[in-house]
Amino acid sequence: MIFILTALSIRADWKDEIGYTRLQTLAASDLPTAPSQGLTQAEAPVTDGMGNNFFYPDPSNAALIGKTFTYKSGAYSGASSHATHVATNFYGNTSLIPGATSVNLYEANNWVTSGFLRRGTFNPPRTETSAVQNHSWIGLVYSSNTEVNQRLDFAINRDGFISVVGENNGNSTVLPDLLGQSYHTITVGRDDGEHSAGFTTNDVTGRIKPDIVAPSASPENATSWCTPMVASAAGMLVAKLSAAPYSLLGADKPRVVKALMLASATKDTVPGWANTSSRPLDLRYGAGELNAYHAYIALRSGRVAASNSTLHSQRNWAAETVPANSTKTYFFNIPSGAPTTPFCAAMTWHRVVDQSIFSWSATLANLNLRLYQASNFTLGNQLASSASTVDNVELIHQSALPPGNYAITVENSSAVNTAYALAWHSLPAATVVATSPNVCESGNLTGQVTLTRTGDTTLPLYVPLTIGGTAVSGTHYNALPASITIPAGQTSTVMQITPIPDGIAQGARTVTVAVAADFALVRDVSQSAVVTIQDNPFECWRIANFGTLELGNPAISSETADPDHDQFVNLIEYALNLNPKSPSASPLIQTHHSGHLALSANKNLNATDITWSAEVSGNLSSWSPATIVTNDSNSFLARDTVLETSAPKRFIRLKITRP
């Protein structure tokens, strides 16, 4: 008996929620568009009430234009809307693998029997040439349940394809008999929890299903639609893994894809996620919610090998064999100077399925996963373990792992060498610091904020920002972006804070920049960079010398005012470092230089926003520029252009200007 999986909430597009939209923006051409081996979709029949069954997607649907279908269960006789929706999410032109073109299509009953699995015969399953299968249907065949699941596991291990299977809708604890209780598949539920979940009852009891959940907000509110989301992500991952430099073959492909997905699944997007040392997955949400961004970034972080002398990074994966009654160890580092990070490691391996003349049988090696503190490639305290006696998945999760060195061990307590896939995932930290924390309104200098990330730099990192402070964006400084991207290959990037001069004395104002919360990084919530915008030096001088009311009165505090009536306007008082409220004797020195009338003065060292010059005249009505002799940061000396002996009278005056 075969049934389709359809079952209402509105949220963002599912590709946004699983991080694919972000990944598309940052990874761009690095992303594969389809696995080269093609795809398989099996569908339960939908009847029209007149004895006609439909189970193929609509080839004329806009999302499926350009696809080449091979009809494995008879000629096309009409479209199933269910199959079309599944196809759209799985390999449609807006899916994660829009470049997929070759698809094998089956009716589910035919797929279970002569079409592929060959249930009830002495023949093994047919060879699968596709990279990924999707099964958005449930079923039961009573006495053959175990055989069907074992046949599928056998085929996955033999042919090296990924099979993604949906659980039933509704929050039952009774799992579907077919496929959803198999070992080597990736079983899928809904992130709202409205799916069957719990312990297996067939083919060894007590194993946890589903493996993972996917976004289920309307219009994707059914396991039928969630399942192809995972299948589409699997297609993207296996396409990357099948190509150089990884070039995975055979059963390594389904094992590594599953390990990457489970290790990178988010726990904080589902309520109350929890596991135990003997139960690797949550009772309802499995490893958590699919996150294609995390899975792909972990993949790109690179394949590693167990070693007692190599320190790996905070995200990596492995595909190796652990000898009988032995262990493999992976040392890794969470970078210092960063806050704690969520951490997850997942391991999966295949059972051995054998066919005799009359029956099928299976054996499963017992592998365990452990997390230790480490120092100098020596194991320290054990922090966590995953040691199920029945599952072929182990998973360790730490909600807040501090910076430091750690080790993961893969432990084989069985008498057979066992191939496995291991992946671990943690988040990079983004930190922010003001590297040029003070800036003045005048001049061409800017404040600078530097954002730095930890971890690998193979792809860009998007960093959202929170901007605050007492300065007003667009009034006191040029508006800042809401986010910044640290480019690929770089650990940091700089943001410029550019003040806007306004000629108003108002004191220091601050711009604060902090890293905002984001699913792709961790941050120190107490950390922010502060850039202080000072008034230009003249305004700072005015603030220091005049009160609030005086600052508002141009007759007292403007640059041309002379409140102490000493014949020096405020701009000159500022240049010469005088008190504008107390009459001063002239600090200007009239002197002689090489036979010319000259003028010298000592400068206010803080007056960096003015220009010094001098003018000369023979009649006090017509003035021309003087010759500058000295004009450094401390002193000024200018002389007449005419020799004193060549004119009956000459005059020289100081000229101070501001931009």
pLDDT digits (tens, 9 = 90+) for 106-123: 999 999 999 999 998 999
Region 252-272 average pLDDT: 98
Number of domains making up the chain: 3
11 has pLDDT over 50: no
CATH number of the CATH domain containing 623: 2.60.40
Residue 63 per-residue DSSP state: G
Is 636 within a domain? Answer: yes
pLDDT at 24: 95
Q: Are residues 117 and 240 in the same domain?
A: yes
Residue 271 structure tokens: 């309520």
Residue at 120: amino acid letter: G
Q: Are residues 90 and 179 in the same domain?
A: yes
Residue 644 per-residue DSSP state: G
CATH number of the CATH domain containing 523: 2.60.40.2030
Phi (first) and psi of residue 508, to 5 degrees: -70, 140
- pLDDT tens figures, 587-606: 888 889 999 999 999 999 98
Residue that finishes a domain, picked among 535, 564, 579: 535
Q: Are residues 48 and 166 in the same domain?
A: yes
pLDDT at 200: 94
pLDDT at 338: 75
Those residues with Cβ within 8 angstroms of residue 211's Cβ, 6 or more apart along the chain or in another chain: 185, 186, 187, 188, 258, 261, 262, 281, 286, 287, 393
CA atoms within 13 A on the CB side of 370: 16
C-alpha 1/C-alpha 567 separation (Å) is 105
Q: Are residues 512 and 623 in the same domain?
A: no
pLDDT at 49: 75
Residue that finishes a domain, picked among 248, 283, 300: 300
Q: Are residues 154 and 21 in the same domain?
A: yes
pLDDT at 12: 56
- pLDDT tens figures, 520-549: 999 999 999 999 998 888 888 888 898 878
Q: Are residues 65 and 189 in the same domain?
A: yes
Q: Which domain holds residue 482?
A: 430-535
Is 186 within a domain? Answer: yes
Report the candidate in 125, 123, 114 with the shortest Cα–Cα distance to residue 151. Answer: 125
Helices 81-91 & 223-242 angle (0-180, nearest 10): 30
Q: Are residues 531 and 629 in the same domain?
A: no
Is 608 within a domain? Answer: yes
37 has pLDDT over 80: yes
Region 65-88 average pLDDT: 95
Q: Are residues 204 and 128 in the same domain?
A: yes
Q: Are residues 463 and 523 in the same domain?
A: yes
Is 408 within a domain? Answer: no
C-alpha 438/C-alpha 444 separation (Å) is 13
- pLDDT tens figures, 427-450: 999 999 999 888 888 767 788 999
Which residue is it, tokens 């006191």? 476
Which residue is it, tokens 């139960």? 279
- pLDDT tens figures, 212-258: 999 998 888 899 999 999 999 999 999 999 999 999 999 999 999 99
pLDDT band at 1 (very low <50, low <70, confident <90, very high): very low
Those residues with Cβ within 8 angstroms of residue 536's Cβ, 6 or more apart along the chain or in another chain: 440, 441, 442, 443, 501, 609
268 has pLDDT over 60: yes
Residue 25 structure tokens: 């923006």
pLDDT at 143: 67
Those residues with Cβ within 8 angstroms of residue 441's Cβ, 6 or more apart along the chain or in another chain: 499, 500, 501, 502, 533, 534, 535, 536, 539
Burial of 655 (0-12, 13-18, 19+ CB in 10 A): middle
Is 353 within a domain? Answer: no
Q: Which of 212-221, 286-295, 471-480, 546-555 shows the highest mean pLDDT?
A: 286-295
Helices 252-264 & 292-301 angle (0-180, nearest 10): 120
pLDDT at 502: 82
51 has pLDDT over 80: no
Residue that finishes a domain, picked among 300, 327, 349: 300
Helices 292-301 & 20-27 angle (0-180, nearest 10): 40
- pLDDT tens figures, 635-657: 999 999 999 999 999 999 999 99
134 has pLDDT over 90: yes
357 has pLDDT over 80: no
pLDDT at 564: 95
Q: Are residues 187 and 285 in the same domain?
A: yes
Q: Would you state the torsion angle of the CA atoms of residues 390, 395, 396, 398, taken in this order, to the nearest 10 degrees?
A: -130
C-alpha 247/C-alpha 95 separation (Å) is 24
Region 57-81 average pLDDT: 95
CATH number of the CATH domain containing 41: 3.40.50.200
Is 389 within a domain? Answer: no
Region 390-413 average pLDDT: 98
Q: Are residues 87 and 172 in the same domain?
A: yes
- The rounded mean pLDDT for the chain is 93
Those residues with Cβ within 8 angstroms of residue 621's Cβ, 6 or more apart along the chain or in another chain: none
**Residue 433 region by backbone torsions, left for phi larger than 0, else alpha for psi between -120 and 50, else beta:** beta
Summary count for the chain: helices (H), strands (E): 12, 39
Is 417 within a domain? Answer: no
Is 527 within a domain? Answer: yes
Region 185-191 average pLDDT: 98
pLDDT at 38: 96
Q: Are residues 208 and 277 in the same domain?
A: yes
301 has pLDDT over 60: yes
319 has pLDDT over 50: yes
10 has pLDDT over 80: no
